[in-house]
Amino acid sequence: MNYTLSEIATLIHAAPQNWPARSIRHLLIDSRKLASSDEALFFAIRGERHDGHQFIEDLYVRGLRNFVVEQMPQHAEQFADAAFLLVANTTAALQQLAAHHRSRFTYPVVAVTGSNGKTIVKEWLWQILRDQYNIVRSPKSFNSQVGVPLSVWQMSEEHSLAIFEAGISRAGEMERLEKIIQPTIGLLTNIGAAHDENFSDRVQKTNEKLNLLTHCQTIICCKDDLAVWGLLVNNERFQSVHVFSWSRKTKADLQISRVEQQAGETTIQGVYQNRFLKIRIPFSDAASVENAIHCWALALSLGVADEVIEKQMPQLHAVAMRLELKQGVNNCSVINDSYNSDLGSLAVALDFLNQQQQHAKRTLILSDILQSGRDEKQLYREVADLLQSKGINRIIGIGDALNRCRDFFAGMEHAFYATTDDFLNQFHSSDFHNETILLKGARLFGFEAISKVLQQKAHETVLEIDLGAMIHNLNYFRSRINAGTRIMAMVKAFSYGSGSFEVANVLQFHRVDYLAVAYADEGIELRRAGISLPIMVMNPEEQSFESMIRFGLEPEIYSFRVLQQFDEALRRYKQQHPDLQPVAVHVKLDTGMRRLGFEEKELNELIVRLKNNKLIRVCAVFSHLAATDEEEHDAYTRQQIKQFLSMSDLLRSHFDYRIMRHILNSAGIVRFPDAQLDMVRLGIGLYGIGVSDEEQTHLRQVSTLKTTISQLRTVPAGETIGYSRRGVAHANMRIATVPIGYADGLSRKLSRGQGKMWVNGKAAPIVGNVCMDMCMIDVTAIVCAEGDEVIVFGVDHPIQEIARDMETIPYEVLTNVSGRVKRVYWQE
């Protein structure tokens, strides 16, 4: 549904002007996700760590002409034909517009809230009800103060039911979301510990969640949490509301009488309106059972027939909460989102695809979009427009509907197949090379088989990298640095074992200011993968200087020898490239680390040589602190900082241009905020390792090293296990062989019970010596089977634990994970 610019200006109370006659269909809050500048309106949102006003000029250059702002840009007269809707608060304006849009529709709107399970319940409701209703729902987990308005904006007259998530992190937020969603049906999943720190107690948090349900006609809730139930039924706001309850313990609208959990599935029996009902779901964990009953209750409250519910429940499938990025055949990258396919999630996946800069070519393998409720031609014309705006080079369509609408995709390279089997029967790996491939398919099409043939073959041990956790950690440190201080992200040593361009792509997308690598080869690889950020090389070598100049890398200059070698390289390069401009360098000062850097006594000569060299521009001067993470050495750290300030002041005073300074690493950012200066170097903290227990509570673990059980066997008492017979079964022992050894980075120091792994949540000590490619663990007391997952370290078993077992530091554990271990990158 279109609005005119003038209508929107009135709705959000923008300062009056004569607005151009423009139509608006798309709302934008992230400048990086601009698909089409036509009919788009950008809200310059201000947050704790960002300000959308900074990106207005970039959007204008890219063709966007409509903006909602809190302040006019400098030199506004330079933005010819741009419309600026000036408001007091852009977030509030976005919410006001969405609230008005919601008020135009009278069909039922379901709001799902709670501490856990919101996204799964929303997606399962869609799976259960999509044959009865044309449903609009939140994309992924868009449940925030800006995510909810964007979700509600999707509502149109062609829909007959809406399902939206609502999440909060502090008091006062839910009332605003209620005004936007205006739900007629509310579903409360549960109240858990999430965001407890922002509420005085659980009662305050529960009451805040209940604010979403104030004007509902029906509320779905479990009676078994007596505290929550009491707050609901004793609140006078809800006395006239129909509360549809379910319970395992007491009388309720839906009385759960029996739950039978078997291998991989659960049968749930209940009584509703004196009818004995039964459903079966393909899950056996407690959370899935609870989520399924929530969905059952809501479907019953809507009057959905028992036989329809009974038919749909066994077909529920796991909700894919993440996008996975893996190495593919022929130097391809493969993004796997092959669990559902709808227009909203397609747009999200395409944004993730566009973050990847390692390949110029982008291919989408797409299945039919099932049960959208849309006119087929209109739907696929919109898909084609979306792909065109997102820069997709090739589409491979699978399904009858895509085949019928293939003409819409004539403007790009294309191929169409009736079924997934047809595609696989004609598949040749040589058809895919040096490109990024997005798999986006409805579960019915079985794209897992396509993912399998496109992936590079690797053994069963993988290092999973949670890119969302990395972004969270980046934002935490952003919140702790001073305004105007830049961030240099350390991606040396294969990004601490986490990957190269995959990590750099994320950091570039989230606008860090600099990257740092150890050697030129690492920087060159990033340049070839499309990384355009400034890159400092910390260990420049003479033989790589010419390549560094050619690829725009900035060397660390730490001695007169290196300075002389780099100067000679520059002169040689200048002879062949007369238009060479001065090259940026970072000058390293030694203030007490005693590793690399110029000493104070060398400063005068250094200044003279730098000033006389017209091919070099000093970009930054920096130093390295020896012990920022150890309180006992704080006096030494402060002395280093003092000496650095003195030395850098002297050097900078001799130049007529600005020279940046940086000295702090991850540990120093929080502990020595006065020394953040122009830039900080964020390293191990980015990967989830905090300097203290308190800081660790703010960070998320990024890496999970996991493998599988290859074989199980029982070893009789008295027999030995492994090389040199160092493992001994003192009683009958059940052991599991797992395919990870010291060639994968598992230290031999963990042999003979020094280390452990985790199988089905329980610790399994390593038995005998760690071998090159595998090791054995004791699973005598653990119920497990061949093929079960084994965790070496991860979220619940942090890397600090295995580092202690190895008598080392987390840096070494991370960087020791060898290149043959497949990296899998994922993001919610």
Active site positions, annotated: 492, 723
77/64 Cα distance (integer angstroms)? 16
Rounded to whole angstroms, the Cα distance separating 365 from 724 reads 52
Where would I find the H helices in 62-214? 90-103, 118-129, 147-152, 173-181, 202-210
- Among residues 97, 83, 93, 87, the alpha carbon closest in space to that of 20 is found at 83
d(CA 685, CA 696): 9
Tell whether the torsion through CA atoms of 146, 151, 152 and 156 is positive or negative. positive
| H or E element that contains 3 | strand 3-4
573: tokens are 């390069």
How far apart, in whole angstroms, are the C-alpha atoms of residue 268 and residue 249? 14
Distance CA 509, CA 31 (A): 11
Q: Determine which helix (DSSP H) or strand (DSSP E) holds 515, and give its type and residue range.
A: strand 514-517
51 within 8 A of 90, measured Cβ to Cβ = no
Strand pairing category for 242-247 and 703-708? unpaired
- Single-letter residue type at 346: L
Please tell me whether residue 136 adopts helix, strand or coil conformation.
Answer: strand
Distance CA 450, CA 441 (A): 10
Q: What is the spatial distance between Cα 748 and Cα 769, in angstroms, rounded to a whole number?
A: 7
Structure tokens at 220: 């779905």
Contacts with 732 (C-beta within 8 Å, 6 or more apart), sequence order = 714, 715, 716, 717, 780
3-class secondary-structure state, position 285: coil
Beta pairing partners, 51: 46
Among residues 620, 629, 561, 622, which one has the least CA distance to residue 591?
622
Cα 757 to chain centroid distance, Å, stands at 26
Report how far Cα 348 is from the mean position of its chain's Cα atoms: 12
Per the structure block, which two tokens stand in for 290?
Answer: 């609870």
End-to-end CA gap in the chain: 29
In this structure, what token pair is assigned to residue 284? 């056996």
Q: Which residues contact 377 (CB under 8 A, 6 or more apart)?
A: 405, 408
